Structure 1
Amino acid sequence: MNPLLSAEQAVLGAVLLEPGQLAHLEWLAPDHFHRPVHRALFTALRKLRADAHPALTVEEVVPLSWVTDAVDEAGRHVRGLTAAYAHTLIQSCPRAAHAPVYGRMVLEGAIHRSITRHAVRLHQAARADALQGEVEQALHYADVLAGVLSDLARRWGTEPRPVAPPATAPAAPVSFRADQVAEDERFLLAVLAEQPRAMDQVVDWLRPGDFADPAHGQLYRCLGALHHRGEPIDRLTLLWEAQRRGLLADSTLSGDQLTAICEGMGPGDAAWFGEQVLRASVTRTAASSARAIRALAENEALAPGRLINHALHALGPLDEVRIRWQTANGHPAPSARAPAPSSNAPPPARVHAALTRSTPRSASPPSARPGSALNPAAARSPSRGHG
């Protein structure tokens, strides 16, 4: 037995038994049903309600016309729906009064499907952008997914906020155009090692994590450390910094590898190569976020509220690299939005009263006898009273 299919049948059966249950399902939309025949029937039932079907005014036995008219209306938009199936739906409903609970089950399934669908679109857009050397489609579908998550949170009745999921094994890195990306990274590192002032062009928006090759990211970290300390940058100082960080001892880098990178290129534009590396980081991060969100959505045991908040958290790395991409391209970073006040916060009047009670009252210093010193304890502000 498929629980989601049973829930869809039960909620439709409840409305066929008691048309008044539609009033408790305003938040449920036809698109939330997985089967097309169920979507068509729920749409038809809502249309009959909007047209003031006579069955809505009957308080006792619901007339058969409510069922037959719903089947006829839905049959105009979908094939395969019969009156016999409508009666099967009625028999599938344990209790008509539980329609809102069945509807929540349907909505829960729709949330998982919707997030999965949009995560797949984001991954496809990231892959296409990576192959074309673009980022616009990936960022667009990331915004679409974020908007979908906010809308689903509103429908589910929860506050959308990023929450980290339980610790899981790190996913395998996503690699697009690996050879070209690695070459761009090597060229950038060669330019940064050969041109003393080249780090100034990229240091504000390029991070070690933007490099697909971890060894390249560590080498960029070494360059950044030398630049931060104001020390000269050349092949020898870079090798020394790598040794101090243990990169040679743990085989993250080798002297021959570093020499090959430093000798790999002459003059070049550090900003241009840096943008190539960052562009690849945007699409790679978008694909990784999409894969993480899809894995969350395919976990049927994950409650919708937690799924939405975990998915928002998975989009966080993409938001961070997007801001740096905008900085690299001369676009101002979006201002941080002020957090919305929590609905659980105490009323302002109560807060004001609490602050008032916490403020020490001003008091005159105690009089001292001539020639005597003030007691330090007596000179302190009086403690709060409870009178």
Structure 2
Amino acid sequence: MDPLLHGEQAVLGAVLLDPRQLGGLDWLEPRDFYRPGHQALFAALRKLRAEGHLALGAEGAVPVAWLTDTLAEAGQQVRGLTASYLHTLAAACPRPAHSPVYGRMVLEGSIHRTVAEHTDRLLAIAREDARQHEVHGTAAQADVLAGLLDDLAKRWGTQPRATAPRTPRLPAAVEPPTAVQAADEQFLLSLLVHQNGAIAEVFDWLRPQDFAHPGHGQLYRCLGALHHRGEPIDPVTTLWEVQRRGLLAEGTLTEEQLAPVLRDGAAGSAEWLGEQLLRSSLTRAAAGAALQIAAYADDRRLAPGQLIGHALHALGPLEEVRARWRTAASPPTPQPRPDTGHAARIQAALARSPARPGTRGSPTPSHVPPPAPGPQRVHEHTSPHHSHRSPT
């Protein structure tokens, strides 16, 4: 027995028996039905309602025209629908008044199915991008999936909020690193060990979990610890840090893996190699998230709100890698150079410009001596109150 099939038949049967039930199913869409015939029937019923079919206002028994017009309209979209199947749908509905509950069953199945379809698409694109050493298709599909989850949450009536499952699932099994990936990671680590200051080019955005090989990630963690403490990085200090962390003793690293990194020098761009490694990390994180979400979508015990919350939580690690990828791939912001000659040019221009006479606020040069006092002459009629002097 298929509960979803019974739910689709029941909601269609409810509307066929009582056309007024469509008024409480505005939130349900034809694409929510799994079977193409059911999609066509529900679309036909909605169209007849929008056109104001006479059956919507009829009292008592439903007119036969409601069934025949529905069958004729749906038959334009799919073949194989018969009048007898409409009677089967009507018989599948126990109570027409329960149509909103049947509709929620259809919507719940649609949410699980839609999430699974988009997740399969993300997984396929991530694997193809990994083979092509690209990330743009994966990033675009991840955005499509995140937007879909937001829309589905609104349709279901919940908030699109990431929620961790109560019982964490085991990490999804992803493809093991290839020989080419292991060689590329080993080459980058060798460069970081032997090229002075190379780790500064990748330290801000490259993380140990970006390495496909766990041992390489732990070795990079050792180099990051040396860089963080301001200690030099070379084969001797690296070997000492590996020994302090017990990586050889516990088997995380083997001498066969460590020896080429410490022995063989490498030359190249650490930044470019780190970006290539981060590309692989992004597609690998997308594949892991897709496998996790696919497992949630297949679990019919999860309500749609739980499924959406767990799916958004599974996308979290992918978004973290994408944020670091944007940092690594974005060009450095050019910093404006300070114009040190600007102030000097202003001073030179002021020195060449003579001060205007009588300018307010113009200070008198201190090196100019004041005028010397001379014989004081008395002018006649210098003042209206000054009397003439008589000759002596």
Provide the rounded CA distance (Å) in 2 between the counterparts of 1:270 and 1:234.
15
CA distance in 1, matches of 2:241, 2:156: 53
Kindly indicate whether the alpha-carbon contact (under 8 Å) linking 1:239 and 1:255 is maintained by their aligned counterparts in 2.
no
In 1: Cα distance, 2:63 partner to 2:153 partner: 38
- Residue in 1 that maps onto 2:8: 8
Q: Which residue of 2 aligns with 1:54?
A: 54
- Alpha-carbon shift at residue 262 of structure 1 (Å): 2.6
Measure how far apart 1:2 and its partner are.
0.8
Q: Which moved more, 1:77-86 or 1:254-263?
A: 254-263
Structure 1 position 26 matched with structure 2 position 12: no
Aligned to 1:216: 216
Q: Cα offset for 1:265?
A: 4.0
Quick one: distance in 1 between partners of 2:317 and 2:169? 17
Any runs of at least 4 consecutive aligned residues in structure 1 with deviations exceeding 2 A, and if so which? 166-173, 254-257, 262-266
Residue 95 of structure 1: aligned partner: 95
TM-score by length of 2: 0.83
Contact 1:131 1:176 in 2 (8 A): no
Q: Counterparts of 2:166 and 2:125 in 1: how far apart (Å)?
A: 27
Q: Tell me, in whole angstroms, the C-alpha distance in 2 between the residues paired with 1:172 and 1:110.
A: 24
Q: Tell me the equivalent position of 2:142.
A: 142
Q: Which moved more, 1:175-184 or 1:141-150?
A: 175-184
8 Å Cα contact 2:177-2:213 kept in structure 1: no
Q: What residue is the counterpart of 1:359 in the other structure?
A: none
Taking the aligned partners of 1:264 and 1:23, their CA distance within structure 2 comes to 74
Shift of 1:257: 2.7
Q: Deviations over 1:17-55 (max 9, x none)?
A: 111111100000000000000000000000000110000
Letter in 2 for 1:102: Y
Task: For residue 249 of structure 1, give the secondary structure of its aligned residue in structure 2.
Answer: helix
1:267 Cα deviation after fit: 1.2
State how far apart, in whole Å, the 2-side matches of 1:303 and 1:257 are: 47
Contact in 1 for aligned 2:172/2:292 (Cα 8 Å): no
How far off is 1:263 after superposition? Answer: 2.8
- Report the aligned-residue RMSD: 1.3
Residues 122, 287 of structure 2: 8 Å contact kept: yes
SS of equivalent to 2:250: coil
- The residue that corresponds to 2:151 in the other structure is 151
* Contact 2:21–2:99 (CA under 8 A) maintained in structure 1: yes
Shift, 1:61, TM fit:
1.4
Using the TM superposition, name which of 176-185 and 45-54 deviates more.
176-185
The CA deviation string for residues 175-212 of structure 1, in whole angstroms up to 9 with x for no partner, is 37612211111111001001121111000000000000
Match of 2:376 in 1: none
Task: Name the counterpart of 1:274.
Answer: 274
1:320 alignment counterpart: 320
SS in structure 1 at match of 2:77: coil
Give how far 1:331 is off: 6.4
Is 1:104–2:104 an aligned residue pair? Answer: yes
CA distance in structure 1 between the aligned counterparts of 2:173 and 2:84, rounded to whole angstroms: 52
- Residue equivalent to 1:227: 227
Query: What is the match of residue 291 of structure 1?
Result: 291
Q: Which residue of 2 aligns with 1:36?
A: 36
How many Å apart are 1:266 and its aligned residue?
2.2
2 CA distance for matches of 1:59 and 1:234?
Answer: 90
Closer, same or farther: CA 306–111 of 1 in aligned 2, 3 Å: same
Q: What does 1:62-141 align with in structure 2 at a 5 Å threshold?
A: 62-141=62-141
Deviation at 1:73, TM superposition (A): 0.5
When the two structures are superposed, what TM-score results if normalisation uses the length of structure 1?
Answer: 0.84
Give how far 1:251 is off: 1.5
Looking at structure 2, the residues matched to 149 and 287 of structure 1 have their Cα atoms a distance apart, in angstroms, of 17
Give runs of aligned pairs for residues 233-312 of structure 1, distance below 5 A.
233-312=233-312
Task: Give the C-alpha shift of residue 259 in structure 1.
Answer: 2.1
Q: Which amino acid aligns with 2:277?
A: V
> How far apart, CA to CA, are the structure 1 residues paired with 2:242 and 2:169?
28
**Correspondence for 1:170:** 170
Q: 1:24 to 1:169 in 2, by over 3 A?
A: closer
The 10-residue stretch of structure 1 (223-232 or 59-68) with the greater mean CA deviation from structure 2: 59-68
Note the alpha carbon deviations across 1:87-107, whole angstroms, 9 max, x for none.
110010010000000000000
Unpaired segments ≥5 residues, structure 2 = 333-392
**Counterpart AA for 1:266:** A
Match for 1:323: what amino acid?
A
- AA aligned to 1:137 is G
Q: SS at the partner of 1:166?
A: coil
Identity rate of aligned residues, in percent? 60
What is the match of residue 198 of structure 1?
198
Measured in 1, the distance between the counterparts of 2:215 and 2:54 equals 73
Q: Structure 2: how far apart are the matches of 1:212 and 1:277?
A: 9
**SS at structure 1 position matched to 2:247:** coil
Aligned residues: 332
Residues 331/73 of structure 1: CA separation in 2 closer, same or farther (3 Å cut): farther
